[in-house]
Every structure is written in C-alpha cells, then in structure tokens.
Amino acid sequence: MNWNLFLTELVAGITHGSVYALIALGYSMVYGILKLLNFAHGDVYMVGSFVGFGLVTVFGGSEALSVNVWILLFVMLFCAMLAGGLLGVMIERFAYRRLRAAPRIAPLITALGVSFFLENSAQLILGAQYQSYNSYGWHNGALWASGFTLPSGVHVGLPQVIVVVGAVVLMLGLTVFVRNSQLGKAMRATSFDREAAAMMGIDVDRVIVATFFIGSALAGAAGVFNGLVYQQVWPYMGFQAGLYAFIAAVVGGIGNLPGAVVGGLVIGLAQSFSIGYISSTFSDAIVFAVLIAVMVVRPSGLLGRAAVQKV
C-alpha cells in the first residue's frame, strides 16, 4: 500500500472537511430553526474569503507582508466573521423575514435570488478573475515550511494545522455556547418548536437574527481558512463550496450540529480520496453517489433522528 498517497489524501480530506464542516454548521443551524435551505450561505463564505484577501492586500500583499502572521490571521478572522455575520443578518432581515409565513417554496426561490445577486455583484465589484492569498509567499514561505512531517514523508504545513485547529476551536465554542448560554438554550428551544418557544416568552426574532449572525460568521471564518490553504478566491467560489457543505449537512443529518461536522469530514474525505485514487474530474460523481446512498439507506442523515411529521 502506498502510504504516502494515503496520508496525503487523508490530510487534504481532513483540511477540506473542516472547511465544509464550518459552512455546513451555518446551513444546519438556519435549517433547524427556519426549515429554510439558505442557498445564499455559500456566498457569505465567498464574501468572508474576499475580506481576508483584502486584508492581505492592505498589509502589503503576499510578497511583502508588513505584519506578524498571527496578528494578520487574527485580524482576518475577526473582520471576515464580522462581515459575514452582518451580511447574514441583513439577508435575513431584508429577504427572508417577510416570507416566514409564506408557502415553503417562496423563501427557497428568494434564497436562490439572493445567492445569484451576491455572486454577480461580487463579480461586478471585484472582477471575474481568480485572486490568490498566496500564503506560500508570506514571509518567504516561513508559514508552510514550519509544521510537522508524518511518517513516510508527508509534510503537513502550518496553515493546514491552523485550519483544522481553528475549525475545532470554533466548533467547540459553538457547542459550549449552544449548550450552556441562555441564547443557545433559546435557539435549541426555537428549533424544537418555534411556536411553543414564542409562547414561553422567547423572542424568536432575536433568536433567528443570532442564528444567522453566528452561522454566517462561521462561514466567513471558513472563507479565510480556505484562502489560507487553497489560496484562490473568486466570485463564484461560494456556489461549489456551498453545494458541498450543503450535502455535508444532509449527509450528517440536517438540523443536527454534530451531524454537520461529521458530514463535512465524510464529504471532504470522499472528495479527496476519489481525487487521489479514482479520478479528479469525477469526484463530483463520487460525492453524489455518497449523497444518494445516504439518502436511500438513512434518509435522516448519519446522526439525524428520523423526522416525525406533525399532523
């Protein structure tokens, strides 16, 4: 067995999977509360990625970075999460709020419209070309040179470590928040039964806004993480990543937060192993096969409970 290939794909899969998991969390949170597939979520991720790219440029560009990498990373994450969160709140306020009582299909089509609007506005403002974080060039490649080496000579660069650790920290933070804080409890109650929660005195509007803010902030962070490891940013990046994250959320069990993380890893690994072992062009088809298999065998997702429909 070729351990080198196996470990390379494993590392790539986990890194990619962490990014998908962060995006999938936002999908799942919103779905849990509003039962809405927020197609614009992938584009919030794109905006977060561009905010990070803008900061790299502001601090001297990849070749002549004028600040410490850790400070830059902190500023990038903070700004991207803030921008993502605010964008998410605005989308909720102006596009979805009036449609809460509308037939199910209306907010879905609105979400498509928002996604399309954001993608093309980004193209108008930023141009269609690919831009690059070029984290290889930061401080003459010091970032990628550090890290550690696995047996059989697979080097894991520091950015990959940062992404995985950062994603784990954010997910743990989210878990603690949802479990213990008052707002987190209100979120769980709202996702369990919105009307009952409202009757118990929970301000449902506030909970929904908070959900959009947190979910979109995670997508913004995912955008920065993705740029850090995979370099490229472009206006339509959100569509593909959003779709994969979406499938991750469904595979794990939509509306279920640990499920989103598991789904993200499953999809990331399935994608990278099919690229490494089968075919790079048809990794989409493999992921589709995983989706169909999960939907046929376990329609509620790997960690989801069977949906009980209220009559």
List residues binding other proteins (CB under 8 A). 31, 35, 37, 90, 94-95, 98-99, 101-110, 112-118, 120-121, 123-125, 195, 198-199, 239-240, 243, 246-247, 250, 254, 278, 281-282, 284-285, 287-288, 291-292, 295-296, 299, 307, 311
CB of 79 to other proteins, least distance (A): 16
The nearer residue to other proteins, 1 or 125, going by C-beta atoms, is 125
Cα-based angle 183, 187, 192 (whole degrees, multiple of 5):
150
The nearer residue to other proteins, 1 or 101, going by C-beta atoms, is 101
Close Cβ partners of 255 (under 8 Å, ≥ 6 residues apart): 28, 31, 32, 191, 304
Cβ-based burial of 147 (10 A; exposed 0-12, middle 13-18, buried ≥19): middle
Close Cβ partners of 34 (under 8 Å, ≥ 6 residues apart): 96, 100, 107, 208
The nearer residue to other proteins, 46 or 118, going by C-beta atoms, is 118
SS3 for 156?
Answer: strand
Token pair listed for 201: 């005195």
CB of 230 to other proteins, least distance (A): 18
The nearer residue to other proteins, 166 or 259, going by C-beta atoms, is 259
Q: How many residues does the chain have?
A: 311
Close Cβ partners of 208 (under 8 Å, ≥ 6 residues apart): 33, 34, 92, 190
Q: Which helix (H) or strand (E) holds 20?
A: helix 3-34
| Residues pairing with 149 in the sheet | 155
Q: From 227, 233, 214, select the one nearest 82 (Cα to Cα).
A: 214
CB of 160 to other proteins, least distance (A): 26
The nearer residue to other proteins, 10 or 95, going by C-beta atoms, is 95
Cα separations in angstroms, 109 against 19, 103, 106: 26, 11, 5
CB of 178 to other proteins, least distance (A): 22
CB of 267 to other proteins, least distance (A): 11
Distance, first Cα to last Cα, the chain: 54
CB of 61 to other proteins, least distance (A): 18
The nearer residue to other proteins, 35 or 206, going by C-beta atoms, is 35
CB of 173 to other proteins, least distance (A): 28
CB of 234 to other proteins, least distance (A): 14
The distance of Cα 292 from the centroid of its chain, to the nearest Å, equals 21
CB of 168 to other proteins, least distance (A): 26
- Whether 7 and 160 have beta carbons less than 8 Å apart is answered as no
- Helix, strand and coil in the chain, % to nearest 5: 75, 5, 20
The nearer residue to other proteins, 219 or 254, going by C-beta atoms, is 254
The nearer residue to other proteins, 161 or 295, going by C-beta atoms, is 295
State the Cα–Cα distance between residues 118 and 45, nearest whole angstrom.
Answer: 11
The nearer residue to other proteins, 64 or 307, going by C-beta atoms, is 307
